[in-house]
């Protein structure tokens, strides 16, 4: 191949650095030399005590600015694998000492290799950084990657547990990916033999360009779970703003734990504007005592006891609110520790001290803003209680004509007319899939008569996002599956026990069928034509 006269050539040292770079990382991660397998835990305490850390970080910052790397921050940290222990009292962590910097890997991927090369060229000239690992990771990875199940529209491979996986909250922007979790993720055989062999078998002119990720761990990685693992997973500053939407986190003001979802709003007779939710979300000792004294078995409108001692509902719930504040506080502590380390280093560059001081002040202001933010949304107003009702035989399945017990678990609370909170619809980023839903008149007066026309339904949940589908006219059983008392209970067993349903006397409920959801969600095996929600 001809080379234009005067074109730059790589020095021997540059060639060595390139050859030593880790070529086996996902598209959102790069580094020198071979990196530890993901996921990694990040510890900053003591990491910035590297000799001349301030000068080295200033050099890195200069390189990032010269390369015009967007969304970039840099720091020294211990990047410890999930199967290793971190003990800040010993020196065993030094092998995990890493110069970690962030970037927008989607926009700047073509610049990252040269950026790492330049950083390594500087670091190799200083004894304190000569062996330090260099890692670049996308700035969005901190909140986790998005995983979407691959449906039959994407590929003809129907029996594989595959995901679209990437940095954007949009399946079309995330490449189809085979994610393999294994304790042997750092074994070089994965990159040398196994991954190329798998890719050669699954990639063809008729299938998408699949990627493979090998991550450290055991167990199956699936699409978005039905419920979030931790409180406050999706709570952020937007949930404290003026408009409280369908799907917002709600909870009882006096309870530290317990979160639910706000449904749509409805105006009752007399102009009382209420929000819908489930009974178990607003249920507490106060409501239990009211129902014990009631002859009707449900919470009536304008209950005198509740009017005298209102049950306040807040949004976000206390559980999500304190989890959100906890994340801010944890970041504040990390930045404060970094400032202590930087101030104890004589050669710390003033730019870094100023940057972290400004960051700490922003976090402090954010804490003050949200700690005492008015979250009162309304007061308990009416509800069905957790019970079952006999549905009139003339409004149930016409094929059997028999009355059935149907589970009831509804409640509504009166909304406060506060200037900082207004109810609104959930934001739908995919409106084309469900056109005409808003303000559309109901097809029937009774939901128990749905045989002739399809009724579309949708819900926006605080943890699950959008759930769409159509109401199945056939009532589904609710009955315990566990045969013996010692058998493990599943979700259906718990619900059946709460309502007193048995194998002989089961309850009923409606289900929403969604043909668009494949069966790789939590609790399902393989792809199915329909999924129930």
Domain locations in the chain? 12-142, 146-216, 237-314+378-475+510-532, 318-374
Spatial distance between the Cα atoms of 249 and 63, rounded to a whole number of angstroms: 43
- pLDDT for 91 equals 67
Note if the pTM is more than 0.75.
Answer: no
Relative to beta strand 163-166, strand 146-149 is antiparallel
Spatial CA neighbour of 412 closest among 262, 286, 304: 262
Q: What pLDDT score was predicted for residue 222?
A: 44
Task: Give the model's pLDDT for residue 383.
Answer: 86
The sign of the dihedral angle between the CA atoms of 43, 48, 49, 50 is: positive
pLDDT, position 229: 40
346-to-50, 55, 337, 350, 521 alpha-carbon distances in Å = 11, 10, 16, 11, 53
Model pLDDT, residue 133: 93
What DSSP string describes 238-260?
A: GGGSSEEETT-EEEETT-SS--E
Neighbouring C-beta atoms of residue 476, cutoff 10 Å: 12
From first to last of its 533 residues, the chain has per-residue pLDDT tens of: 333 333 334 444 778 888 888 888 888 889 998 888 888 888 887 787 788 888 888 888 888 888 888 878 888 888 888 778 877 766 678 888 999 998 888 888 888 888 999 999 889 888 888 889 999 988 887 656 666 655 544 444 433 446 778 777 677 778 888 888 887 888 888 888 888 888 887 776 655 678 888 887 755 554 443 333 445 555 666 666 656 677 788 899 988 888 888 887 788 877 888 888 888 888 888 888 888 888 777 888 878 888 888 889 988 888 888 888 888 888 888 788 777 777 766 655 666 677 778 888 888 888 888 888 888 888 888 888 877 777 655 454 555 556 677 777 888 888 875 544 444 444 444 433 433 333 334 344 344 554 445 667 777 777 666 667 777 666 778 887 756 666 666 777 777 877 778 888 888 777 777 655 443 333 333 333 333 33
pLDDT at residue number 341 = 73
Paired with 468 in beta bridges are: 458
Q: Are 234 and 462 in contact (CB under 8 A)?
A: yes
């Amino acid at each position: 191949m001809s080379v234009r006269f005067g074109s730059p050539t790589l020095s021997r040292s540059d060639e060595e650095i390139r050859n030593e770079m880790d070529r086996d990382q996902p598209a959102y991660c790069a580094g020198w030399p071979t990196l530890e397998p993901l996921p990694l835990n990040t510890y900053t305490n003591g990491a910035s005590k590297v000799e001349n850390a301030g000068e080295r970080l200033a050099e890195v910052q200069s390189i990032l600015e010269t390369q015009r790397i967007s969304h970039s921050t840099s720091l020294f940290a211990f990047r410890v694998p999930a199967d290793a222990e971190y003990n800040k009292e010993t020196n065993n962590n030094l092998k995990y000492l890493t110069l970690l910097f962030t970037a927008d890997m989607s926009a700047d991927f073509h610049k990252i290799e040269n950026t790492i090369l330049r950083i390594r060229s500087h670091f190799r000239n200083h004894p304190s950084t000569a062996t330090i690992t260099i890692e670049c990771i996308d700035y969005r990875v901190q909140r986790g990657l998005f995983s979407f199940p691959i449906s039959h529209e994407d590929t003809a491979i129907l029996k594989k547990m595959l995901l679209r996986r990437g940095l954007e909250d949009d399946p079309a922007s995330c490449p189809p990916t085979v994610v393999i979790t294994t304790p042997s993720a750092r074994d070089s055989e994965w990159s040398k033999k196994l991954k190329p062999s798998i890719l050669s078998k699954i990639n063809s002119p008729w299938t998408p360009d699949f990627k493979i990720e090998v991550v450290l761990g055991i167990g199956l990685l699936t699409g978005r779970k039905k419920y979030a693992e931790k409180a406050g997973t999706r709570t952020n500053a937007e949930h404290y703003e003026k408009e409280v939407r369908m799907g917002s986190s709600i909870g009882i003001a006096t309870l530290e734990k317990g979160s639910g979802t706000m449904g749509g709003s409805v105006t009752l007779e007399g102009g009382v504007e209420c929000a819908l939710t489930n009974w178990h979300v607003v249920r507490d000792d106060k409501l239990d005592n009211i129902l014990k004294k009631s002859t009707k078995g449900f919470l009536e409108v304008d209950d005198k006891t509740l009017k005298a001692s209102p049950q306040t509902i807040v949004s976000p719930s206390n559980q999500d609110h304190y989890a959100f504040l906890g994340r801010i506080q944890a970041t504040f502590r990390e930045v404060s520790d970094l400032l202590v380390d930087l101030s104890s280093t004589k050669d710390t560059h003033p730019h870094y001290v100023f940057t972290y001081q400004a960051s700490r002040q922003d976090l402090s202001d954010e804490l003050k803003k949200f700690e005492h933010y008015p979250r009162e949304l309304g007061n308990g107003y009416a509800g069905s209680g957790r019970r079952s009702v006999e549905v009139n035989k003339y409004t149930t399945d016409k094929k059997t004509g028999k009355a059935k017990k149907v589970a009831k678990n509804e409640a509504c609370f009166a909304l406060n007319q506060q200037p900082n909170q207004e109810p609104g619809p959930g934001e739908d980023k995919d409106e084309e899939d469900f056109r005409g839903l808003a303000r559309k008149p109901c097809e029937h007066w009774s939901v128990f008569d749905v045989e002739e026309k399809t009724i579309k339904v949708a819900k926006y949940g605080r943890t699950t996002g959008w759930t769409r589908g159509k109401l199945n006219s056939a009532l589904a059983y609710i009955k315990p599956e566990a045969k013996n008392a010692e058998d493990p209970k599943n979700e259906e067993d718990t619900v059946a026990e709460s309502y007193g349903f048995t194998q002989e006397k089961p309850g009923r409920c409606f289900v929403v069928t969604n043909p668009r959801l494949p069966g790789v969600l939590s609790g399902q095996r393989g792809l199915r034509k329909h999924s129930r929600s």
